[in-house]
Amino acid sequence: MLTYNDRIILDFERRWIDRPEGAREEAIRRTFGWTYARYVQRLNQLLDTQAAMAAYPQLVYRLRARIEARRGMG
């Protein structure tokens, strides 16, 4: 089951997914008070949960595909 905070993170990501990284990083700091690295760490943890997949399937698939594409570039 997703917590309230988990849903806030996933809703934030859904709104900000296609925005420039610099703008997203600033919004993350303002919204959560976290560094970008901390946010990405928590987001990646959420993407590995069945609860996130059940509640946000399109977002989870899209983000997982993006992660895999970046891994392939490295």
* Angstrom distance (rounded) from CA 68 to CA 64: 6
User: CA quadruple 67, 59, 6, 33: dihedral positive or negative?
Assistant: positive
What does the pLDDT look like over 8-21, one tens digit per residue? 999 999 999 989 88
pLDDT, residue 21, reads: 84
12 and 31 Cβ atoms separated by less than 8 Å: yes
Asked if residues 22 and 16 have their Cβ atoms less than 8 Å apart, the reply is no
pLDDT in tens, 21-70: 889 999 999 999 999 999 999 999 999 999 999 999 999 999 999 988 88
How many of the other CB atoms lie within 10 Å of CB of 70? 9
Q: Tell whether pTM > 0.85.
A: yes
14 within 8 A of 59, measured Cβ to Cβ: yes
